[in-house]
Amino acid sequence: MTSRPAAGGGRWVEVDPTRVARWVEGFADRHGPPTTTTEAYGLLLAAPDGATAELHSPPGAPPTADVAGFVAAAVAPRRLGLLLARKGAVAVGVAAGEKLLVSKVDTRYVQGRTAAGGWSQQRFARRRDNQAKAALGDAAELAVRLLLPEVSSLAALVCGGDRRAVETVLADRRLAPLGALRAGRLLDVPEPRHAVLVAAVSAARAVHILVR
């Protein structure tokens, strides 16, 4: 379980699906038995002492009306597409439950920044931009080969890395069916590698809870 401050107050907690029921029990012990309300994002728990917990359904999980249903939906295995992208690197995969079934990582050289000024700096900047565009073009081809054939079986597409890079990849018209499955969650990941892709499966399935 991880925790981070939330904008506007409170904190976000990321909980493994198998631990959500225990987390809700702990919330009730600390704040009193909560009332449960169905919301667009999942469930809202409101405790007698004023504390609230927003349980956000993980990508691909169906809507539910109570905590038991929420937990069952979160734990259930789903097929998820994964697309992690940063300049010069992309990782694509398909996961079923907690298992990564298909994966491919591609890294392409993108020149680093230069301290030179004037014309040289502009030339290097153009070269970097061209290299980055070529890398993201390769990433789109990779997504077409690995993810597009799986689109009918995917519950959601979960992306991670640099938002601009991800959106550049998904701008390819051939990937429109994948874009329609894209979850709102953007995973915060380092430069995509196989180990990062494996870890992203758990991050994609985690339940996000906003506690205030």
Is 70 exceeded by the pLDDT of residue 121?
no
Q: Do 34 and 23 form a contact (C-beta atoms < 8 A)?
A: no
CB 45 within 8 A of CB 35: yes
Predicted pLDDT of residue 206? 97
Q: Residue 96: pLDDT band by 50, 70, 90 thresholds?
A: very high
What is the amino acid identity at position 180? A
- pLDDT category of residue 136 using cuts at 50, 70 and 90: low
**Could you tell me the pLDDT band of residue 115, with boundaries at 50, 70 and 90?**
very low
Is this model's pTM higher than 0.95 or not?
A: no
Greatest mean pLDDT among 78-92, 122-136, 194-208: 194-208
Which pLDDT score is estimated for 3? 86
How far is Cα 195 from Cα 208, in angstroms, rounded to an integer? Answer: 22
Whether 24 has a pLDDT exceeding 80, the answer reads yes
- Pull the structure tokens for residue 62: 């169906």
- Encode burial over 110-148: b for 16+ CB neighbours within 10 A, e otherwise: beeeeeeeeeeeeebeeebeebbeebbebbbebbbebbb
Between 29 and 137, the higher pLDDT residue: 29
Count Cβ atoms within 10 A of the Cβ of residue 21 and give its class: 0-12 exposed, 13-18 middle, 19 or more buried: middle
Structural domains of the chain in order of their starting residue, each with its CATH number: 1-212 (3.30.420.60)
